[in-house]
Amino acid sequence: MSIAENLQRLQNQIHDACARAGRDSSGVSLMAVSKVHPVELLLEAHAAGQRLFGENRVQEFAEKFPSVAHLQDARFHLIGPLQNNKTTPAAQLFHAIDTVDSLKTAQRLSSAAAALNKTLPILLEIKLSPEDTKHGLDPAELPALLDAISPLPNITVVGLMTIPPYTASPEEAETARPYFQHLRRLRDENQRLHPALTELSIGMSNDFLVAIEEGSTTVRVGNALFGKRPSRPTP
């Protein structure tokens, strides 16, 4: 299957899932997760009409960037953890950072964005399951973090994202549903005080149909679009 065919199939699946859920399909964006894949596949997806991309390492995207800098209409989001020493290049290279989970990172990003004369939309990454390998904010800390970030001049929190425990196949997608419901509840509860909080970045290749039923506004799809990822080269 070509990337163009995969894209078409995914768009159809998203459209049908929205129809079943009584949602307008313009409310769900498909993010192409191009991490680990060579930049040529990203260019192929763009040629097939894809505009929103997610990369999960700053360094990897910095290497790809010269090949995609001319794509004026493409948008690139960081969807992997952001180390302190990468804040400036991240603010430079990406249109949005979807994985902020501390005030310190938010402050650094706001300063970096100010120096670049831009305002960055960000998502807060929430940790809803106890696996200790995962990044993300404890949901109990969300209201205080939102209040603390509000005054920062060069970032705007536009939503929440989470990564539920790994599902190995679409048959296991139901296990993700309670995490999606939890994230949506957090967004809804905090929207009164923070009306810009509208986005829900939930759903990956195996569970995006469930995520759409639970209110996803962005599904982040890698394998189902680009095929299985090659393993990362050892450094």
Ligand X SMILES: *Cc1c(COP(=O)(O)O)cnc(C)c1O
Closest contact distance (angstroms) between CB of 153 and ligand X is: 27
Greatest CA span in the chain, whole angstroms? 48
**216 near ligand X, rule: CB under 6 A:** no
Nearest position to ligand X, beta carbon? 222
Assigned token pair, 77: 């989001």
What length does the chain have? 235
Closest contact distance (angstroms) between CB of 22 and ligand X is: 25
Task: Candidates 70-78, 102-110, 139-147, 219-227: pick the segment binding ligand X (CB under 6 A).
Answer: 219-227
Assigned token pair, 16: 């049908």
In this chain, which of 42, 91, 149, 204 binds ligand X, going by CB under 6 A? 204
**96 near ligand X, rule: CB under 6 A:** no
Task: Candidates 17-25, 107-115, 128-136, 216-224: pick the segment binding ligand X (CB under 6 A).
Answer: 216-224
Assigned token pair, 180: 């999606």
Strand bridging mode 29-33 / 52-55: parallel
Closest contact distance (angstroms) between CB of 31 and ligand X is: 8
**137 near ligand X, rule: CB under 6 A:** no
- Contact present, 222 and 205 (Cβ < 8 Å): yes
**124 near ligand X, rule: CB under 6 A:** no
Closest contact distance (angstroms) between CB of 205 and ligand X is: 3
Closest contact distance (angstroms) between CB of 134 and ligand X is: 10
Q: What is the DSSP secondary structure assignment for residue 57, as one 8-state letter?
A: -
Q: Provide the sign of the torsion angle of the four alpha carbons 169, 170, 172, 176, taken in this order.
A: positive
Assigned token pair, 183: 């994230």
H helix intervals, the chain: 3-21, 39-47, 58-68, 87-93, 103-115, 142-149, 177-191, 208-213, 223-226
For ligand X, which is the closer residue by CB, 118 or 229?
229
- Residues 35, 152: Cα–Cα separation, whole Å: 30
Closest contact distance (angstroms) between CB of 37 and ligand X is: 10
- Contact present, 215 and 184 (Cβ < 8 Å): yes
Residue ranges in 31-70 that form contacts with ligand X under rule CB under 6 A: 33, 35, 56
The crossing angle, in degrees rounded to 10, of helices 58-68 and 39-47 is 50
**205 near ligand X, rule: CB under 6 A:** yes
**221 near ligand X, rule: CB under 6 A:** yes
**223 near ligand X, rule: CB under 6 A:** yes
Residue ranges in 71-90 that form contacts with ligand X under rule CB under 6 A: 79-80
What is the binding site for ligand X (CB under 6 A)?
33, 35, 56, 79-80, 163, 204-205, 220-224
